[in-house]
Structure 1
Amino acid sequence: MASVESNSNDGVISKQLLKSKSGEFDVESIHTLNIKDAGISDVGCIGECTSLERLDLSYNNVSRLHKLAGLSALVKLNLAANRISSLEGLQSLENLQSLNVSGNLIGSVDCLRYLAGLEKFTSLRLQDPANGLSNPMCNMSYLDGVLMMLPVLITLDGQRVRGRGSELFQLCKHMDQAMYNFKSVNASSMPEVGHDATHDVDSQQWMLDIGGEAKVQEAEENLRAMLDGCKQLSNKAALVLYDSEEARPTDTSEISS
């Protein structure tokens, strides 16, 4: 793997820099680049790395992606923690399978339209809570819109959302919505208590109601913890299945009887 440091004077990646840091005589021969946290604001001539398959540009100051258009062999791209509000330029990356854009300025599902025509694109990360990275669009409900925009997507934010392994994710989604509706209904029907509450409800019955509410809340928390554990196990199992399917030979002549 080639590790690249930017020119501290201008933050632009040059052809000479790519050659010297990668050890390759031709930029066309570079397959993997790690340019993480290097003060990059302009990707420069990186589009000339026509054999590049894996690129890490995370934790930089990149805002425009149009110069990545020449990376037709790119499979995995990490753009986390930059200043990106538009994905224009990625629509020509016909082999792109995985993209991380957590920690950017993407404001709506419509910003993802440049990925809609990529037939091999299966994995997208918009937020990464473990590293405190998100996007403005993640402050609202976005799952259904993303799935509609990207019909071949399999993994979103590290969770399997289509295919084998996605059933538990969908179940947890419905459970979360049901719990939210349950809490909303109970909150709206809860009587207000003032100094003269004893004139409206029997104090003993009121205490029983409070105790019942606490038990319901505890049950909800236990159920959610159980579902989270099941979800993690399901995601791990789905990844194992996915990897095994990828490794399986598709040419029947390669399989001996």
Structure 2
Amino acid sequence: MPGDGGQIATRYGRITKVLLKTRSGEFDLESIHSLNLRELGISDLGCISECASLERLNLARNDISKLTKLAGLNNLTQLNLSANRIVSLEGLQALDSLQHLNLVGNLIGSIDSLRCLTGLDKLKTLRLCDRTHDLSNPVCMNRNYRTDMISMFPNLEWLDGEKLIGRGSEVFQLCQKIEEALEARQESESLSHLPKPSKWVPDEYWEPSNKFEESILSDASEELEALLMSCKYTVNKSEDTLNTLKESSKS
């Protein structure tokens, strides 16, 4: 039966009641809590809004470009829209319960396109780029993408698989510093291969300096080492406490 539902979606490209009932096994649309509609050739969300109790929805790898019909899904907490043809996120701003949103592999081109999501107070995880599977969005190519996203979504806990808040976030931030410093050094080194102009300024004026990048790398390395040492100390202390408790229980 699930296969028949898939054929219906592929043939017409539109979500129907028959498809929803077939894929979920539920007779009443309002009883559906979880739906997997991955790779069914869907381009029209049809009657999806009638699934009023829906909490988890997977629409990955379809042909979706408009999201306005999702607006009625007030209980939705997890939404996977990866690998579609989405440019505008209009409609998602009504999903007040949304906590996890996957948008990798779409056509979102600017930070402004994401502003409609800023009112989603429960949003914890947002993914626009997946380097592992080589899926992204044009907006991710922006040099200030990460900084702008953190500024726009101060309560976000995870961005593109990177932890921003809570335990472990310091390691991600240090790695980001190191990565940025390495990129700056590479740019600086590439400049050293450019032809030098005529000598109307001192020779050393055109020589790229790596002192700033080296300083950042050194500081980041020290911070990372201190963090790792702190973790090691915590682990050792925990082991000592555990051993003490074991000895105490024996006696």
| TM-score bucket of the superposed structures, by smaller chain | 0.7 to 0.9
Shift in Å, 1:182: 2.7
State the alpha-carbon separation in 2 of the partners of residues 21 and 186 from structure 1: 56
1:131 alignment counterpart: 133
In the aligned structure 2, how far is the partner of 1:21 from the partner of 1:181? 50
d(CA) in 1 for partners of 2:9 and 2:192? 63
Q: Percent identity?
A: 51
Task: Give the direction of change, closer, same or farther, for the CA distance of 1:174–1:13 in structure 2 (3 Å limit).
Answer: same
Aligned letter for 1:99?
L
Matched residue, 1:184? 187
Normalization by structure 1: what TM-score? 0.71
Gaps of 5+ in 1: 194-219, 235-257
- Could you tell me whether the CA contact under 8 Å between 2:129 and 2:135 is conserved in 1? yes
Return the alpha-carbon distance in structure 1 between the equivalents of residues 190 and 22 of structure 2: 64
- Summarize the alignment of residues 86-101 of structure 1 with structure 2, pairs less than 5 Å apart: 86-101=88-103
Structure 2 counterpart SS, 1:9: helix
For 1:76, the equivalent position in structure 2 comes to 78
Q: Give the aligned partner of residue 23 of structure 2.
A: 21
1:157 to 148, 157, 160: 160
Residue of structure 2 equivalent to 1:34: 36
- For 2:180, the aligned partner's letter is Q
Match of 1:61 in 2: 63
Counterpart AA for 1:135:
N
Looking at structure 2, the residues matched to 22 and 190 of structure 1 have their Cα atoms a distance apart, in angstroms, of: 61
Secondary structure in structure 1 of the residue aligned to 2:178:
helix
User: Please, which moves more after superposition, 23-32 or 11-20?
Assistant: 11-20
Deviations 1:146-186 (A, max 9, x none): 11111211101111022321112211222222223333334
- Equivalent-residue separation in structure 1 for 2:194 and 2:24 (angstroms): 69
Counterpart CA distance in 2 for 1:20 and 1:147 is: 41
Q: Given that residues 49 and 70 in structure 2 are in contact (C-alpha distance below 8 angstroms), is that contact kept between their aligned partners in structure 1? A: yes
Separation in 2, partners of 1:183, 1:23: 55
State which drifts further: 34-43 or 126-135: 126-135
Aligned mate of 1:146, from 145, 149, 154: 149
Once the two structures are superposed, what CA deviation does each residue of 1:125-151 show, in whole Å capped at 9, x if it has no partner? 101122221111112221011111112
Residue 172 of structure 1, aligned match among 157, 160, 175: 175
TM-score, normalising length: structure 2 = 0.72
Counterparts of 2:195 and 2:153, CA distance in 1? 46
SS of structure 2 residue aligned to 1:144 = helix
Per the alignment, residue 248 of structure 1 pairs with: none
Residues of 2 paired with 1:117 and 1:105: CA distance? 22
CA, structure 1 residues 183+94, in 2 after alignment: closer, same or farther (shift >3 Å)?
Answer: same
Give the CA deviation at 1:18: 1.3
* Distance across 1 between alignment mates of 2:194 and 2:17: 70
Report how many residues are paired. Answer: 201
Which secondary structure state, in structure 1, belongs to the residue aligned with residue 101 of structure 2? Answer: strand
Deviation at 1:189, TM superposition (A): 4.2
Gaps spanning 5+ residues in structure 2: where?
A: 197-216, 232-251
SS in 1 for 2:126: strand
Contact kept? 2:23, 2:35, Cα under 8 Å: no
- The amino acid of 1:184's aligned partner reads E
Other-structure match for 1:237: none
